[in-house]
Amino acid sequence: MPKPYERERADRSAKAKLRLWTLHLWRQATVVELFAGAGSLSQLYAPHCEKLICIEKDEATFHQLTKTVKAPPAELRCMDNLDFLDTVGDIPDVSFVDFDAYGCPNLQIQKFFEQYPVERAIMVNVTDGTLFNLSRTVNIDLNKYFLVNLYPIGRLSHDDYASKRALRRVLPWLQEHFIHLLAAKHGFNTLFLYHAMNRAANVTYYGFIAFPEIHVDLMAFGKTPITRFRKDRESLVKTLMKTRKTSRARR
């Protein structure tokens, strides 16, 4: 049986492979890593982007980060990522953003999309340690972090074991639902690429692409064969309408 540190190392390796797979989907302009830590992911990102911005607030960890990442495109900042997100809208051409948190980074995700308009495709990777925190001494307000309330009191306690087991089963749905709510609120589209969980089943990883909405004047729904287009006088949207008069006339 693998030792705990060996399992953890294997999880980090698998997570890095997922990150690098999404990194190579297209040429990266500006990569933003909001939980840089000691730079294990940062050093992998640096050679494959035009600019890398790493945020880490712990001074001791930041010191390690400066030793790990020395590539020219890297810009290292020792500060709270929520403070950094106040100015993220001034950074041009963000094409990749990483939320590799120990806990739940949903407040940072919310603030990023509040501050940064989605005007091009942005690859987003997330590490969510909600279940890991609940196994310790932490409560979570699901309404605050996931924009949905599954419990009458609005909070899930770390000692609510039955609910924790249930949350593990629905967490991928909850995470995806959270992102779709943000997309609807801020006017962009999403495409989920993966959901994964570590071997201890207490940390989840997911990745999605945020991209601008495509505005067209034609929309079609359902499986009705295309027979005729009819323009609605009350809107600019053309809808598909099956014309029964035509079929009757042929009879």
Mind giving me the DSSP string for 183-236? HHHHTEEEEEEEEEE-TTSS-EEEEEEEEEPPP-SB---SS-----EEE-TTSS
CA distance 88 to 94: 9
Number of H helices, E strands in the chain: 9, 11
The domain segmentation of the chain, as residue ranges, is: 4-212, 217-251
Residue numbers of the chain with a pLDDT score lower than 70 = 1-8, 11, 153-154, 215-251
pLDDT per residue over 223-250, tens digit each? 554 444 444 444 444 444 444 444 444 5
Tens-place pLDDT, residues 170-200: 889 999 999 999 999 999 999 999 999 888 8
CA dist 219 → 190, 223, 226, 237 (Å) = 18, 13, 12, 7
This prediction's pTM: 0.80
Separation between Cα atoms, residue 160 and residue 34, nearest integer Å: 31
Give the CATH architecture of domain 4-212. 3-Layer(aba) Sandwich (3.40)
